[in-house]
Amino acid sequence: MAKRDFIKRHLLIIELLRKRPSTYDDILNYLINNQDQIGYQLEISKRTLQRDLKEIDSIWGIEISFNRSIEAYKIESDEHAEDETIQRTLESFDLISALKQNRKVGKSIFLEKRKSSGSEHFNGIIHAIDNNLIITFDHLSFSKEPSARRCVPKAIKETQNRFYLVAYDLDVKDFRNFGLERVANLVITSQRESSPKINIEKAYQHAFGIERYETAEKIILRFDIQQKEYVKSLPFHHSQRIIAEDENYFTLELFIHPTHDFLLEIMRHGPICEVIEPAMLRQQVSERVQLLAKMYQIKE
C-alpha cells in the first residue's frame, strides 16, 4: 500500500472523529466515500484500523480509543486541536490528488503563476529555532540593495498567502519580519546566542498582515448590506464582529493595528466600505480619495 494512502487515511479518520464519535462502520463508509472521489486505496479492516489508531497517536499526538458506553471510537486527547495542521495537510493532499488526476484527463485546474513562497527554507529554519542557532542570509529588498542579516529565528508566520520569518536581528537588537520569498543564501550556523523571548501568538494577535508599528485600537467599518456574507466568509481579522445592521448597511467592529496594509485593504473595497472610527484612519482614507480624485480629474 502506498505511503500516501495511509497518511491520507490517518488524516480522514482524525477529521471524522473531530466532528463526532464514530463506529467502525461509520469510519469505513467515510473512507470509502472519499476513496471514490480521490482515487486513493482507503478501505481497511478492523485490524488495520487498530494499527492506524496507534500510529495516529505516535505520529500526530492524537489519542483515540473505543468508548464502550457509546459503542464508538472517540478522541481522548488532541495536542493539535486548536491549530490548522491537520486541515492544511488534508488540503495539500487533496490538491496533489486533484492535480495528478488533472494531468491524466486534461486541463481542469488552472493555478496562478507565482514565484517561490520560501517554503524551501522551512526545514532549516525550524531546525535553527529548535536548537537556538544563529542563521545568516541576504534579504532581497524591493527598493534597495540586498542586506546581509544575522538573526536568531523565532517562528515562521503565514499571512495573506505569504510566509514570513520572525527573528531577533542581532545587529539592530530588535525583532524583525522577513518575507521568506526574499531570503537568499540562507546558512544555518552552529553558533548559539541568547536573545529575548517572544510569544508569537500574543505579539501578533491584533495584527492585520505582519506589521505592528501602530498601536492596536478599535476600528468601526460600515458596509453595503450586500457584502455581508462575503465579509463573514473572508474575515479581515478574528476579532471582527457585526455590531449593527439594517436593510441597507451592516457595521463591523475590529481591534487591530491600523497599519498601511490595512489602509490599502479598506481602499480596495472602494465605496462599499466606510471608516466610521477612528477619526485618524478616516482622515487617511479621505486624503487618499482626494488624491485619487485629483489624479483622475478629467480636463475639459
Q: Taking the model in full, what pTM does it have?
A: 0.71
Please check the confidence at residue 276 and state whether its pLDDT lies above 90. Answer: yes
The total number of residues shown for the chain amounts to 300
- Which of 104, 137, 165 is the C-terminal boundary of a domain? 104
pLDDT for the residue numbered 35: 76
pLDDT for the residue numbered 216: 94
For residue 181, is it within any domain?
yes
Backbone angles phi, psi at 84, to 5 degrees: -100, 10
pLDDT for the residue numbered 101: 63
Provide the mean pLDDT of the chain. 86
Once rounded to an integer, what is the mean pLDDT over residues 272-293?
93
Please check the confidence at residue 256 and state whether its pLDDT lies above 70. Answer: yes
Please give the Cα distance from 237 to 73 (Å, whole number): 35
pLDDT for the residue numbered 79: 62
Please give the Cα distance from 115 to 161 (Å, whole number): 12
pLDDT band at 58 (very low <50, low <70, confident <90, very high): confident
The grid coordinates listed for 193 are: 546566542
- Domain housing 160: 119-198
Cα–Cα distances (Å) from 113 to 51, 97, 117, 211, 249, in that order, read 41, 19, 12, 26, 37
Please report, for the domain that includes residue 266, its CATH number: 3.30.70
- Which residues make Cβ contacts (< 8 Å) with residue 10, sequence separation at least 6? 52, 55, 56, 59, 60
Question: Can you tell me which residue has the cell 448590506?
Answer: 225
Q: Picking from 43-52, 91-100, 211-220, which range would have the lowest pLDDT averaged per residue?
A: 91-100
Q: How far apart are the first and last CA of the chain?
A: 74
Please give the Cα distance from 254 to 272 (Å, whole number): 17
pLDDT for the residue numbered 38: 61
pLDDT for the residue numbered 129: 92
Q: Picking from 36-45, 70-79, 98-107, which range would have the lowest pLDDT averaged per residue?
A: 98-107
pLDDT band at 110 (very low <50, low <70, confident <90, very high): confident
For residue 109, is it within any domain?
no
Give the angle 137-115-87 at the CA atoms, nearest 5°.
95
Are both 160 and 95 inside the same structural domain? no
pLDDT band at 49 (very low <50, low <70, confident <90, very high): very high
Task: Return the closest-CA partner of residue 185 out of 144, 140, 224.
Answer: 140
In tens, the pLDDT along 136-189 reads 999 987 777 888 999 999 999 988 778 999 999 999 999 999 998 899 999 999
Please give the Cα distance from 154 to 195 (Å, whole number): 10
Please report, for the domain that includes residue 77, its CATH number: 1.10.10
Please give the Cα distance from 170 to 137 (Å, whole number): 13
In tens, the pLDDT along 200-253 reads 989 999 999 889 888 999 999 999 999 889 888 888 999 999 999 999 999 999
For residue 206, is it within any domain?
no
Are both 238 and 187 inside the same structural domain? no
- Which residues make Cβ contacts (< 8 Å) with residue 178, sequence separation at least 6? 137, 139, 149, 151, 164, 165, 167
pLDDT for the residue numbered 117: 78
Count of domains forming the chain: 3
Half-sphere exposure of residue 280: CA atoms within 13 angstroms, side-chain side: 9
Please give the Cα distance from 15 to 90 (Å, whole number): 9
Please give the Cα distance from 120 to 126 (Å, whole number): 11
Please give the Cα distance from 23 to 282 (Å, whole number): 56
pLDDT band at 98 (very low <50, low <70, confident <90, very high): low
